[in-house]
Amino acid sequence: MAHPDRPWTAYYGPEVRAQFDAPSYRNLPELIRSVAETYKGGKAFTCCLPNGMNGTLTFTQVDEMSDAFAAYLREVAGLNAGDRVAVQMPNCLSFPVVAFGVFKAGCTLVNVNPLYTADEMAKQFEDAEPHALVIIDMFADKIPAATKGHPIPNVIVTRVAEFLPAMPRGIVGLVQKYWDKSVKSVEVPHIRLPAALDAGRSHIGKDHVEVDAYHQNIGADDVAVLQYTGGTTGVAKGAMLTHGNLIMNMEQAMGMLATNLNKGEEVVLTALPLYHIFAFTVNMLSFYWMGARNILIPNPRPLSNVKRAFENYKITWMSGVNTLFNGLCNEQWFLDSPPKHMKFAGAGGMALQSSVAARWREITGTEVIQGYGLTETSPALTFEPPGKTREGTIGIPLPGTDVACFDEEGKRLPIGETGEIGARGPQIMKGYWKKPDATAEVMIDDWFLTGDIGVMEPDGYVRIVDRKKDMVVVSGFNVYPNEIEDVLAAHPAVVEAAVIGVPDGATGEAVKAFIVTADTGLTAEALRAYCKEHLTSYKVPKRVEFRDELPKSNVGKILRKDLRAEELAQIAAE
């Protein structure tokens, strides 16, 4: 029977723990070691390149190699517990080795977008003050400019084909060096990752170093990851995610999916970058804990880059954002041969459009389970229970999580009233790194305010109305871009759509739609007429602009803020 304050618990099922009081492991290294002992020689991570070349590490290999990296950090690089290690690489076999090694060393991992410019890197390095940087060789030329004024004493360089068998590793190296010239020279003192592992192994063997001693005093409240986010204000901040935050969120999410997953048997496709908190917690940590084989895609663009992964492996689960699912549904090779072993897919990062969910269901015969969360929440707050999806919702709160809506004054609203979504639970961050004032701005007691506007239905399902800052006010009426984009995306000729508010002398703001279409004959007038059939008049886009493509983040999220900035710059110029 559901608790009156948590009506959503009625949907958990008998196998789901409704409350999580403490993590099953004291810290992430204990989890990593325990899993390796359970699954030993099983295949843990496979890096699949666009041409099908691949390499695999077993659970035992990842455990041994991450031990060696931990020993390198502590014995050779001289790091101490709590020191920050910046990790800047795409999905590849080096990523779990390095990440797990950082945890085992008792250090704090700082995820850095590998596509960042030197200026963007410099800002994050200045704030995080890392003691070591592990970077992919393709972007190592940015290091001098990125570390000017705040040098990083230890630089470790890896490559996308690291730990692949010798032949494919050699072929990739030749292609990168002589064909696409993507490998850059490293102009700072550094060590290559394989050499760092050898140095760590030497200390373990000769000096009888006990890696477990590095993290014996690390507990659930200690910071494991600094995960940078623009948050609700747009100013980059490092969310301090603890070992307990990540382990508890892993247990919460997997707990809800338990009846649909078989330990040691799943094959998960990871096309989203592991430096993104969704893929980091759900794909890497959670499915590692489940003993799954993780198929890593270094770069899913173009989408043909994932074709061989679907052909060569029996993918049972994948994560993605709306644009990834939409894109796959428009790929002829995917339509001709949809995945045969898929159980379901998980969506997050942006709103899943109902038309995309319906098309995915039609093509694959499986559901997209939508979840919701933020960097500050490790990330998951809600999930749609498998088999109980509800169109237009983000599901129900995870076990041990409370979700409610708040008004402008920070007062908690009754269920059914629209307001800013707040959440509390064991996955809520410790705070923003070195920013207590920014932390206080998003917290009401132990409630974290998300910056999203939503409403909870009587039985606990939550609907996102929109981002607080993306809301458009037309003649005093609140207009939410997600709603309009959902309607536009359902038009058969629309491939992608984005909606923003633009200044308007008559109505204060007006709705403008940016459209990518498959039909060059589609007109703004025809599209507006279509919208009038589904939306009240003030929600219909007043302006429509057709484009060949829309700006997107590295995980494929359409960037309304970039469209808004372009529009405002154009208005200023005029």
With 0-12 CB in 10 A as exposed, 13-18 as middle and 19+ as buried, what is 469? middle
**CA 471/CA 501 separation, integer angstroms:** 8
User: How does DSSP assign 330-347, residue by residue?
Assistant: T-HHHHHS--SS--EEEE
Query: CA 518, CA 529: separation in Å to the nearest integer?
Result: 18
Q: Give per-residue burial for 197-209: e unless 16+ CB within 10 Å, then b.
A: bebbbbbbeeeeb
Is residue 67 within 8 Å of 101, Cβ to Cβ? Answer: yes
Among the listed residues 106, 193, 188, 197, the one whose alpha carbon sits nearest the alpha carbon of residue 146: 188
User: Residue 332's beta-bridge partner residues?
Assistant: none
User: Looking at residue 231, what is its pLDDT?
Assistant: 45
Structure tokens at 253: 């999410």
**pLDDT of 141:** 94
Give residue 476's pLDDT: 62
What is the DSSP secondary structure assignment for residue 281, as one 8-state letter?
I
CB of 473 closer than 8 Å to CB of 509: yes
Distance of alpha carbon 472 from alpha carbon 469, whole angstroms: 8
Residue with token string 């003649």: 475
Written as six digits, the tokens of 6 are 């948590």
The reported pLDDT for the residue numbered 233 is 43
- Exposure string over 62-92, b if 16+ CB within 10 A, otherwise e: bbbbbbbbbbbbbbebebeeebbbbbbbbbb
pLDDT of residue 234: 45
Give me the pLDDT at residue 230, please. 61
Give the Cα separation of 189 and 155 in Å (integer): 7
How many angstroms from the chain centroid is the CA of residue 279? Answer: 4
Please report the domains of the chain, with CATH numbers, ordered by start residue: 56-218 (3.40.50.980), 471-573 (3.30.300.30)
Q: What is the pLDDT along the chain (574 residues), one digit of tens a residue?
A: 566 789 999 999 888 888 877 899 999 999 999 999 999 999 999 999 999 999 999 999 999 999 999 999 999 999 999 999 999 999 999 999 999 999 999 999 999 988 888 888 898 999 999 999 999 999 999 999 999 988 999 999 999 999 999 888 888 888 877 777 778 788 899 999 999 999 999 999 877 789 999 999 999 999 999 999 864 444 579 999 999 999 999 999 998 888 889 999 999 999 999 998 999 999 999 999 999 999 999 999 899 999 999 999 999 999 998 889 989 999 999 999 999 999 999 998 767 888 889 999 999 999 999 999 999 999 999 999 988 989 889 999 999 999 999 998 899 999 999 999 999 999 999 999 999 999 999 999 999 999 889 999 999 999 988 777 787 878 767 677 888 998 899 999 999 999 999 988 777 789 999 999 988 889 999 999 999 988 878 889 999 999 999 999 878 889 998 999 899 888 888 8
State the SS3 of 503-516: EECCCEEEEEEEEE
| 538 phi and psi angles, rounded to 5 deg | -75, -10
Distance, in Å, from the CA atom of 114 to the CA atom of 282, rounded to the nearest integer, reads 20
Task: For residues 94 and 225, give the distance between their C-alpha atoms in angstroms, rounded to a whole number.
Answer: 17
Chain CA centroid to CA 218, Å: 25
Q: Which is it for the CA torsion 80, 148, 223, 256, positive or negative? A: negative
CA 398 to each of CA 29, 69, 248, 291, 411: distance values in angstroms, whole numbers, following the listed order: 24, 34, 11, 22, 23
Q: How many residues does the chain have?
A: 574
Q: How far is CA 308 from the centre of its chain?
A: 23
- What is the residue-wise DSSP string for 159-198? -TTTTS-HHHHHHHHHIIIIIS--PPP--S--EEHHHHHH
d(CA 395, CA 406): 19
Q: Is 35 helix (H, G, I), strand (E, B) or coil?
A: helix
Q: Which are the contacts of 420, defined by CB distance < 8 A and separation ≥ 6? A: 405, 406, 407, 408, 449, 450, 451, 452, 453, 454, 468
C-alpha pair distances (Å), 472 with each of 468, 481, 515, 567? 9, 7, 18, 14
The two structure tokens encoding residue 543: 């302006």
Find out whether 501 and 473 touch, Cβ atoms under 8 Å: yes
Give the position of tokens 């489940």.
290
∠ CA 236-239-245, rounded to 5°: 160
Residue 270, H or E segment: strand 267-270
| C-beta separation of 209 from 71 below 8 A | yes
pTM, rounded to two decimals: 0.86
* Structure token digits, residue 432: 């923003």
CB 494 within 8 A of CB 485: no
Cβ atoms of 55 and 82 within 8 Å: the answer is no
d(CA 280, CA 249): 12
